[in-house]
Amino acid sequence: MAHLAIKGGPPELPQGLSLPPWPVFGDAERQGLLEVLERGEWCLPPEGKVAEFQRRFAAYIGSRYATACHTGTDALELAFRSCDLDPGDEVIVPAVTFLASASAVVLAGGVPVFVDIDPETYQLAPDAIEAAITPRTVAIEPVHYSGYPADMDRVLEIARRHDLFVVEDCAEAHGTEWRGQRVGSLGDMGCFSFQMGKTLTCGEGGAVTYSDEDLAMSCYACSRFGQRPGGGRYEHHQPAGNHRMSEFLGAILLPQLERLEAQTAARHETGARLDAALAAMEGLSPLRRDPRITRRAYYFYLFRYDASRWGGIHRDRFMAALQAEGVPCGTAHNDPVYLYPAFQNIKRSLLHGNPMDYRQVHCPEAERVYHSEVVAMGNRFMMDGANVERIVSAIAKIRRHLDELATVTD
């Protein structure tokens, strides 16, 4: 009789993991929405919900200012526009991230230069940044991918030495801390997404955080028709779009921000326990533990699978077996971004004369990790710490029946 669920045996977790509902909301969100509806000022009153959210979010992140906007992609585009990229200027982006980290650079007139990841953290590899800098480089974009922070000591030091902007993509890292300081306040600008799956959400939304006065001026103008703070309503200093957030979304974000800290603490705790459990298991390992990471927020929980210590069985078969036992998992954002048709077949006019050819880009670690190493789980399971034991028991069962797993045909 088969033991493993993938071979027809009974699953270890017939009910799967406990996945608490998301998003979480209550009377505070309901009341806030009604208040805005009935007040009738649905767009940016000076003392409205969005203005208050911007103040509170900036304070939470540890920046002087925040500008709320439509999406995380919008936030990144605004940040790069505020850095005043000339067409064809280069921005260094990690090969492994969501498409938007790179497409926002293109939308702002820049050219993403993809660099490899550190195999122990899956974040931008600092040595690869150095090697990618050219006279056209204007900014580095560390993405705190999955909620794990990039090595900000090295990123900031390299940026300082080469006089480059640092635009942090924090879309997956609300509340992550590096040496006790929240990401989004370490570089020149931080960009957040409040899309439905993100750990701070209003359905669709975003924000840029920053402290420098010149960037504040520039971001203000880029986000609202080229206006200046205190300037006239029809005084426009540059041709710019309208990226302002509706009051209804501010009404949702204010109470959501109140909930964020406790939710982040719960995920951090679950992540630390699962890291310790996986580190003790044969052929699996968590991302590197680093004492400079004082708080980890999670968008995905990622771990590493070593096929050579699982009888040569490919990661995909291990994941199929784990799913069959009741643990949802996958590979998160899949391929390195330069491999998408969006970059393989990019129109040359979008590169503004820059000779970049994405068909020649090759980041060996990024490709290897996504082909055969990373296992990713969405963060919802992390709100219930009891899921750690469930995941461990499902993996331990697969391990006990490794011989049976070897007979599965892919």
Ligand X SMILES: Cc1ncc(COP(=O)(O)O)c(C=O)c1O
Contact residue for ligand X among 48, 147, 206, 336 (CB under 6 A): 206
Q: Where are the alpha helices (DSSP H) in 43-168?
A: 49-61, 72-82, 99-107, 126-132, 152-162
Scanning the structure block, which residue is given the tokens 């027809």?
A: 8
12 closest CA partner among 407, 390, 310, 400: 390
93 closest CA partner among 191, 174, 180: 191
User: What is residue 140's three-state secondary structure?
Assistant: strand
Site string for ligand X, 163-182 (x = CB under 6 A): ------x-xx----------
Minimum distance from residue 13 beta carbon to ligand X (Å): 28
Pairing type for strands 137-140 and 90-94 reads parallel
Cα-based distances in Å from 171 to 101, 158, 377: 9, 23, 17
Minimum distance from residue 267 beta carbon to ligand X (Å): 16
Is 143 a residue that touches ligand X (CB under 6 A)? yes
Of 72 and 271, the one with the shorter C-beta distance to ligand X is 72
Site stretch for ligand X (CB under 6 A), options 65-73, 232-240, 321-329, 366-374: 65-73
**Cα 41 from Cα 341, distance rounded (Å):** 43
The distance from CA 336 to its chain's CA centroid, rounded to whole angstroms, is 15
Site string for ligand X, 93-132 (x = CB under 6 A): ----xx-xx-------------------------------
Of 4 and 139, the one with the shorter C-beta distance to ligand X is 139
Is 146 a residue that touches ligand X (CB under 6 A)? no
Site stretch for ligand X (CB under 6 A), options 41-49, 70-78, 283-291, 340-348: 70-78
Contact residue for ligand X among 54, 103, 121, 195 (CB under 6 A): 195
Of 195 and 264, the one with the shorter C-beta distance to ligand X is 195
Scanning the structure block, which residue is given the tokens 């009974």?
A: 10
- Give contact residues for ligand X (rule: CB under 6 A): 71-73, 97-98, 100-101, 143, 169, 171-172, 193, 195, 206
